[in-house]
């Protein structure tokens, strides 16, 4: 199942490369909007980084179900597989592997390039990895809710749920910069992820069933 989803997504180059390129472009565009002085670059860098991850994850889920829904394969999969939530988990994981993980690694690279602080950039990596997975799950829910109604509506209804994650990311960053115990924020995000990773696919499977009924 995983292999099939992986191959399906890999074939749709626009779907996985698009969000990565958008992330890349946002991060490249950022220095153009501020002075090329290193201290000025660092001021807003991480805020831009979190927002770029958020937007990329939003774009990554844009057509996670729509194509399958339009060609009828989603309905067939739902009939054939009683545990549809497993398929949703697989889809989310595949998207994270091909989009979320490269973006997290790119976050580390951009962070290293901007701050030249290896320990800070290494601390950013787990935050980016976990947050990208959380955002992906939330936007998948939004996408399922607004299936065939356009992804903007889905993003709008689930964006408020992503805001607490952004707050935690901001607080986590301050903790890293002040050299306070930032692991508590990682555990908080991991705790949220452990609930989300189970709950969201179940909710999404019910939502898709409601669409197909």
Where along the sequence are the contacts to other proteins (CB under 8 A)?
A: 141, 145-146, 149, 153, 156-161, 163-164, 167, 171, 199-200, 203, 206-207, 210-211, 213
Tell me the closest approach of the beta carbon of residue 132 to other proteins, in angstroms.
19
How far apart CA 211 and CA 64 sit, in angstroms, is 15
Closer by beta carbon to other proteins, 7 or else 156: 156
How far apart CA 64 and CA 170 sit, in angstroms, is 29
Both tokens of 12, joined, read 């749709």
Smallest CA-to-CA distance from 64 within 8, 121, 2, 116 is with 8
The pair phi, psi for residue 34, each rounded to 5°, is: -125, 170
Tell me the closest approach of the beta carbon of residue 66 to other proteins, in angstroms.
15
Tell me the closest approach of the beta carbon of residue 211 to other proteins, in angstroms.
7
Closer by beta carbon to other proteins, 119 or else 194: 194
Closer by beta carbon to other proteins, 99 or else 140: 140
Closer by beta carbon to other proteins, 145 or else 176: 145
Smallest CA-to-CA distance from 65 within 75, 57, 54 is with 75
Tell me the closest approach of the beta carbon of residue 199 to other proteins, in angstroms.
8
Block residue for tokens 């995000």: 189
């Amino acid at each position: 199942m995983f292999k099939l989803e992986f191959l399906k997504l890999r074939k749709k180059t626009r779907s996985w490369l698009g969000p990565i390129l958008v992330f890349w472009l946002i991060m490249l565009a950022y220095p153009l909007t501020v002075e090329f002085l290193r201290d000025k670059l660092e001021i807003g860098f991480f805020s831009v980084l979190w927002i770029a991850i958020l937007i990329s994850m939003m774009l990554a889920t844009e057509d996670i179900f729509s194509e399958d829904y339009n060609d009828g394969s989603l309905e067939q999969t739902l009939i054939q597989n009683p545990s549809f939530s497993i398929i949703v988990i697989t889809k989310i994981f595949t998207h994270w592997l091909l989009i979320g993980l490269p973006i997290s690694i790119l976050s580390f690279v951009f962070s290293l390039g901007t701050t030249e602080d290896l320990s800070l950039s290494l601390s950013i990596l787990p935050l980016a990895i976990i947050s990208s997975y959380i955002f992906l799950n939330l936007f998948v829910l939004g996408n399922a809710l607004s299936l065939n109604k356009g992804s903007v509506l889905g993003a709008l209804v689930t964006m408020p749920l992503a805001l607490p994650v952004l707050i935690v990311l901001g607080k986590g960053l301050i903790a890293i910069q002040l050299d306070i115990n930032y692991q508590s924020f990682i555990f908080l995000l991991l705790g949220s992820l452990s609930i989300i990773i189970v709950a969201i696919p179940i909710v999404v499977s019910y939502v898709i069933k409601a669409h197909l009924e």
